[in-house]
């Protein structure tokens, strides 16, 4: 860039230098021409004086002077010429300076001389005797004066060119250095040329955009990695969770097959096989539900009756509640039980929460289920139990896939470790809010605020 600036400044200054030399030559030419004319005029005045006082023949002595003298009669006939043969000269009455001298006493002109074959300046004046005297000189003398100046011009030109080259070099460095020192990390902090400001503010905007895009990209990468980790962890957990009941089933059947079970224990073994198979089915069902939720397919929202779903779920879970002598208590004081939702997912929420409240309850406990009006026209579905509760440190994690506070207790009660993660997912799809309150040994209260 500095090379370009240097060349531009240098070429422009050289061009103007040359131009000014031409202009100066022109001015000098006009000046010299004027000088020459003035000189001729003063000479002709002098000659006129001499001629008036003396004889015309005096003029013939002027043959060797630096200018040419011509005497012309009133009718244009050339009487005498100091540089040419009079007999060969034509009538001069049509010459501009002669006509002027006849008309107003004196005249001047410059043109190409047919007699001397060169550009000439003429001045003419008329004597009282009507004879016209004319003196002239060649313009070539002016050009030769200018030519004499040319070596000086060349010297001046070379000197000024070198000078302008050095100046251009320093100027280009002076212009480019601030640009090279720009702080592009913070472009608007630079205070250099006004012309560069729009560019700097654009770089600033671009920087901000790039930073923003980088952050978004990083977030996406993080989310992706996170999702990949979750998936990998989930697959590992799934295979482990599936293998455990299958291995138990295989173990029990092998013992039975090889008659290694006492006849009185056979029914216990068979019911264990049934229990493990049921767990397997429950696990597969939960995995299917979760993957359906994960697929994020277009789900159909429709008018859903919460009261109806709760009542149906209670009747489904009644037998397991009775086994532990647990009372299921449902109250509905909502203004309307209807929400706009995906019925299947609402069933998942209601079933898993009531199922957990029974499974993690104590014997003879109670499960309070309610539907109440919430803030901002919401409806709150709450399941509260008098069970074992969840320790504070586990409360955040119980919504993770396969996370259980007490693995053996969950397994014993037929849990899969997926119920609450299905609940969390289904709640998110409905843009509802999930709240958990739990105290170890006192019980757990989980509520969902549905938008109505």
Residue 395 CB neighbours (<10 A): 15
Q: Is 283 in the site for ligand ADP (CB under 6 A)?
A: no
User: CA-CA distances (angstroms) from residue 70 to 78, 90, 125?
Assistant: 7, 13, 11
Q: Which is nearer to ligand ADP, 17 or 405 (CB)?
A: 405
Under the criterion CB under 6 A, does residue 404 sit at the interface with ligand ADP?
yes
Name the minimum Å distance from CB 370 to ligand ADP. 15
Task: Give 252 or 360: the residue with its C-beta nearer to ligand ADP.
Answer: 360
Binding positions for ligand ADP, 407-426, rule CB under 6 A: 410, 415-421
Question: Dihedral, CA atoms, 287, 288, 290, 295, nearest 10 degrees?
Answer: 140
Among 341, 385, 425, 426, binds ligand ADP (CB under 6 A): 385
Of residues 336 through 365, those in contact with ligand ADP by CB under 6 A are 352, 356-357, 360
Q: Decide: 122 and 109 in contact? Cβ < 8 Å.
A: yes
Q: How many residues sit in the footprint of ligand ADP (CB under 6 A)?
A: 23
Cα–Cα distance, 92 to 131 (Å, whole number): 12
Nearer Cβ to ligand ADP (338/403): 403
- Of the candidates 64, 43, 21, the residue with the CA atom closest to the CA atom of residue 121: 43
* Pair of tokens at residue 67: 């200018």
Q: State which of residues 143, 316, 406, 434 lies at the interface with ligand ADP (CB under 6 A).
A: 406
Interaction between residue 245 and ligand ADP (CB under 6 A): no
Cα torsion for 400, 406, 408, 410, to the nearest 10°?
-60
Burial of residue 316 (CB within 10 Å: 0-12, 13-18, 19+) is middle
Residue 440 Cβ vs ligand ADP, minimum distance, rounded to whole Å: 9
Query: Cβ of residue 391: shortest distance to ligand ADP, in angstroms?
Result: 9
Exposed / middle / buried, residue 14 (Cβ in 10 Å: 0-12, 13-18, 19+): middle
Q: Which residue's entry shows tokens 């000086």?
A: 152
Q: Counting contacts by CB under 6 A, is residue 398 touching ligand ADP?
A: yes
Site membership for ligand ADP, residue 122 (CB under 6 A): no
Contacts of 113 (CB under 8 A, 6+ apart): 119, 120, 136, 138
* Residue (110 or 279) nearer to ligand ADP, CB: 279
Any contact of residue 127 with ligand ADP (CB under 6 A)? no
Give the range of 34-42, 193-201, 248-256, 397-405 binding ligand ADP by CB under 6 A.
Answer: 397-405
How far apart are CB 420 and ligand ADP at their closest, in Å? 3
> Where does 138-196 have alpha helices with state H?
140-180
Q: List residues binding ligand ADP (CB under 6 A).
A: 352, 356-357, 360, 385, 387-390, 398, 403-406, 410, 415-421, 444
């Amino acid at each position: 860039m500095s090379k370009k600036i240097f060349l531009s400044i240098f070429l422009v200054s050289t061009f103007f230098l040359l131009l000014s030399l031409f202009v100066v030559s022109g001015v000098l030419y006009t000046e010299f021409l004027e000088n020459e004319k003035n000189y001729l005029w003063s000479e002709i005045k002098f000659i006129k004086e001499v001629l008036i006082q003396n004889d015309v023949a005096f003029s013939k002595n002027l043959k060797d002077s630096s200018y040419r003298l011509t005497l012309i009669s009133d009718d244009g006939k050339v009487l005498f010429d100091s540089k040419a043969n009079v007999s060969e000269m034509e009538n001069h009455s049509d010459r501009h300076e002669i006509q002027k001298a006849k008309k107003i006493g004196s005249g001047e002109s410059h043109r190409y001389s047919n007699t001397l074959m060169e550009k000439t300046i003429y001045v003419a004046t008329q004597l009282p005797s009507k004879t016209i005297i004319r003196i002239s000189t060649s313009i070539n003398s002016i050009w030769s004066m200018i030519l004499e100046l040319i070596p000086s011009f060349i010297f001046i030109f070379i000197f000024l060119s070198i000078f302008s080259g050095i100046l251009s070099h320093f100027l280009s460095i002076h212009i480019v250095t601030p640009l090279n020192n720009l702080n592009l990390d913070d472009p608007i902090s630079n205070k250099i040329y006004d012309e560069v400001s729009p560019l700097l503010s654009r770089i600033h905007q671009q920087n901000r955009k790039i930073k923003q895009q980088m952050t978004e990209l990083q977030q996406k990468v993080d989310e992706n990695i996170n999702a990949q980790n979750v998936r990998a962890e989930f697959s590992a957990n799934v295979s482990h969770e599936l293998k455990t009941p299958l291995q138990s089933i295989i173990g029990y059947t092998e013992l039975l097959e090889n008659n290694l079970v006492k006849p009185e224990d056979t029914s216990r073994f068979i019911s264990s096989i049934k229990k493990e198979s049921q767990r397997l089915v429950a696990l597969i069902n939960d995995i299917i539900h979760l993957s359906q939720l994960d697929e994020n397919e277009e789900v159909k929202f429709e008018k859903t009756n919460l009261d109806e779903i709760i009542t149906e779920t209670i009747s489904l879970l009644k037998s397991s509640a009775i086994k532990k002598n647990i009372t299921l208590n449902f109250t509905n004081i909502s203004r309307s039980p209807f929400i706009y939702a995906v019925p299947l997912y609402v069933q998942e929420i209601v079933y898993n929460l009531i199922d957990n409240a029974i499974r993690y309850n104590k014997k003879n406990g109670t499960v309070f289920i309610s539907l109440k009006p919430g803030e901002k026209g919401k409806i709150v579905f709450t399941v509260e139990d008098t069970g074992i509760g969840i320790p504070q440190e586990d409360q955040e994690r119980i919504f993770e896939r396969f996370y259980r506070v007490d693995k053996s207790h969950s397994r014993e009660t037929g849990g899969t470790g997926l119920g609450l993660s299905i609940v969390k997912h289904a709640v998110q799809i409905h843009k509802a809010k999930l709240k958990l309150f739990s105290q170890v040994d006192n019980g757990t209260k989980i509520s969902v605020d549905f938008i109505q």
